[in-house]
């Protein structure tokens, strides 16, 4: 199974890049499934229903959220109506929607789950390791499901790496989101799980993690706030992770970082 994961879609620039580039990438790379983190698509503050539908129409099979899952109020209703949108599994138990599902895609069963980390996050969430363990234990890779992708949304690379090793051999892919900077550690873990600490963002990299750079720089330099943060609007780079899995075991057999368009050095899977 060929899976593409795209990191945090950041504002209009990120949404435009996904709409423009994803359809051709699906065809060129013969992708079976695409999972997109859309949690910053609405000006960096969550995702609304119209924008979620646009990501799905562009070719995403599943859209994950994050700690800003419900910054846009209509997502409270949209996520109940659209099973292809997932919020973190360890969010408040009263939160609408679900944190994992099994999707029938290209004749295969793909389990997608998202979990929030705890280290350096602005609030405390339920233990991410226990939450993921329950799902993986109930859905063995290569038996109950043909592939499994976990989006771990958190700050600390150490926590993301720990999650990768915790899930090694039980998930096809563990990939980090939230920090908007692609890490250089894409690899196959010893038991066959593809891993990257952070996929990076789909956004304009002439910025401060996707925000127009003037106001963030002012705050760093002077300690004073003058304006609101606004998403940078230049050409975006699509950043993410390509993974190919074995259809019998569900384990990853190939992994490649993805960087398409924009300012960053280009990267993608070999033909």
The answer to whether 208 touches 187, Cβ cutoff 8 Å, is: no
Structure tokens at 115: 């979990």
Q: Confirm whether 180 is a catalytic residue.
A: no
Q: Which of 68, 139, 153, 178 is catalytic?
A: 68
The residues carrying an active-site annotation are 68
């Amino acid at each position: 199974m060929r899976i593409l994961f795209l990191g945090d879609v950041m504002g209009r620039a990120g949404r435009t890049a996904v709409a423009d580039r994803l359809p051709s990438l699906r065809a060129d790379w013969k992708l079976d499934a695409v999972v997109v983190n859309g949690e910053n698509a609405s000006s960096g503050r969550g995702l609304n229903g119209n924008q979620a539908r646009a990501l799905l129409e562009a070719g995403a099979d599943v859209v994950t959220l994050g700690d800003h899952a419900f910054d846009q109020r209509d997502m409270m209703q949209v996520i109940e109506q659209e099973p292809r949108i997932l919020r973190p599994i360890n969010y408040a138990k009263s939160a609408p929607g679900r944190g994992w599902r099994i999707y029938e895609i290209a004749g295969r069963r793909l389990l997608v789950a998202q979990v929030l980390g705890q280290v350096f996050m602005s609030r405390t969430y339920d233990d991410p390791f226990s939450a993921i363990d329950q799902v993986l234990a109930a859905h063995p890779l290569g038996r109950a499901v043909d592939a499994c992708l976990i989006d771990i949304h958190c700050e600390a690379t150490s926590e993301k790496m720990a999650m990768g090793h915790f899930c090694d051999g039980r998930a096809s892919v563990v990939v980090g989101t939230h920090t908007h900077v692609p890490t250089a550690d894409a690899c196959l873990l010893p038991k066959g799980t593809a891993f990257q600490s952070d996929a990076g963002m789909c956004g304009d990299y002439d910025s401060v993690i996707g925000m127009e750079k003037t106001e963030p720089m002012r705050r760093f330099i002077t300690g004073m706030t003058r304006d609101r943060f606004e998403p940078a609007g230049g050409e975006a780079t699509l950043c993410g992770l390509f993974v190919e899995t074995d259809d019998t075991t569900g384990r990853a057999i190939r992994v490649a970082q993805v960087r398409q368009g924009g300012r960053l050095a280009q990267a993608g899977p070999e033909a």
